[in-house]
Structure 1
Amino acid sequence: MALNNTYEARLVQQETAVGAGVQILLLALLGTAIGMGPAGWLVGLAFAIATWAVLSRALHRSRPRSFGPANRVTLGRAILVGGVTALVADSFESSPPVTLLVGLTAVALILDGVDGKVARRTGTSTALGARFDMEVDAFLILVLSVYVSTQLGPWVLLIGGMRYAFVAAAKVAPWLNSPLPHSMARKTVAAMQGICLLLAGADLLPHLANLGVALLALGSLVWSFGRDVLWLWRNARVAAQALPTTEPAAPAAADLELRELAAAR
C-alpha cells in the first residue's frame, strides 16, 4: 500500500510539472507572436514557478489519491492567467495586443464555471480544489485591475486588492476567518468582477461607459465585502456574549461534584 501511495504522489507531482511546462510553452508562443519583452518573460516565468511551487506544497500536505479532472481544468485556467499576467506586464513596455489579452481572459472566465461542475459530477470536490479555484480567480482579478488602472486610474486597484486586504485583516482580527453562510449574491458579485474588468479593459465602450462599468464592479464588491464583514462581526459579538453565561457553569458543576463526594464519604 505504501508503494502505491508513493506512486500516486509521483503522478500528482508530475501533473503539476507538466502544467509548469505548458505555461512556459504558452509564454514561448506569446513571445513569438508579439515579440514579448523582458518584463513579460520575467513575470510570466515567475508566475509559472510560483504556481508550481505553491501547488506542489499544497498537494504534498493534502496527499490526494489523484490530481482529479476538476483540478486539471483549474490548472488550465491558471496557465491562461499566467499568459494574461505576462501580457499585462509587457504592456508597460509596449502597446499590448488587446484582442489576444481579451481572448485569453475570456476563456479563463468561461472555464471558471466548468471546474466546479466537473468536480460535482465526478465526485471529486475537495477543499484544496476549492482553494485552488479561488486563488486563481483572485489573482486574475488582481491582474485585470492592474491593467484597467492604467486606463482609468489607480483606484481600480481596490477591486483586485480587496480580497487580499481582507485576508491580511483576518491575521489581525481572527473573527474574520469564521465560515460564512452560502450566498448567491456573493457568488454573483464575484463573477461580475472579471466580466466588468474585461469589458473595461477591452476599451470597446466610450471612456465614461468604461468608468461606469469599473465603478459598478467596485461598488458591488464593497457592498458584498461590507455585508460579509458586518455579518462576521455580529456573529463574533453574539459568540463573545454567550461565553460569560457558559463559563460560570463549570465551577458550579465542580462544586456539586465535590459536595457529592463529601456526602459519599
Structure 2
Amino acid sequence: MKNWEDIIQQDTFRYIDHSAISTFHNESFTALHSFAIDDALALSISNKFSPSTLRLWVHENTIVLGIPDAKLPYIDEGIQLLKKAGFQVIIRNSGGLAVALDDGVLNISLILPGVKDLSIHEGYEAMVSFVKHILKDLTDQIEAYEIINSYCPGEYDLSINGKKFAGISQRRVKNGVAVQIYLDIEGNSYKRATLIKNFYETSKKGESTKFSYPSVDPNVMASLSDLLRTKLTVKDIKERITQALADFNNQIIESPFSEPELADYQKRLEQMKKRNERIRNEG
C-alpha cells in the first residue's frame, strides 16, 4: 500500500473546519449540505480555482443512506424507524451504504485534483495513510480490509483487532475527487450499529433482494476511544489533523468560499434535495 507522500504531490493545502458550525450560507447545516459542499470544492479544484482541500465536518444524529438503500423493499418503514429514534435521514451522492453520524463521529473530506492520474485505490490509500499518521503515537495496529457484518462494509474499512472504527467512500466530479471518511472517535458505537441493524431488518423483512445488504453485528464495531483505551475527543483528533497537515505540507491556507464556489454549491444542493425528495417518494 502506498503512503501519503507517494500519492499526494501538492505542497499547499486548504483547510476548512466545518465541525462546529450550525448554519452554512443562511441555512441549517446538515449532511445534505456537506455533500453539496464537497461537490462544489471538487469542481473548484478541478477548475484550478482552489488548491487541494481537507475539510472536517460533524453532524448530530444523522443516518446517511447509500443509493442502494433506497431500493430496500420496505424503505419507508425503515426511515420511519430512524426518525422515531431521533435521527435525520438523507441519501448521499457517493458510494457506500448506511452510516450513523453523531457528535462523536468526525468526518474528513480529502479533496484532490487529477482524477485521470489518481486511481480509486490511490485515493483510498492516501486516506488510510493519513489516518495512520495522525494516530501513529497511539497504535501501529490499524488495518485496512473489509469487516464482514459491519455497516457500510468495504475493502478499506479501518479496524483494530478486527473491530471497525472507520469507513471510506469516494465521489468523483469532473477532474476532482472527494475521499470521505467517518472516524468513530467517542460515544456508543454499539448503539449506533444496533440502530443500523434494526433499520435493515425493518426495511428488508427477510425478503430476497438483488443487492446484498449487510447483516450488521454491533459487536464488530467500536470507537477509537474504546479500542485504544484512551479518552479521545473530536477536538483531540482535529488537533492531530492540523499537525499532520503541517508535517506533510509546506503551506496551509484557510480561505472563505468564493462566489463561483457558492454558485456551484447552490446547484449541487438543489440536486441533493431533489435526489432525496425523489427517492423518498419512490420508497
TM class, shorter-chain normalised? under 0.3
Between Structure 1 and Structure 2, which shows a larger proportion of helix residues? 1
Between Structure 1 and Structure 2, which shows a larger proportion of strand residues? 2
Structure label with greater radius of gyration: 1
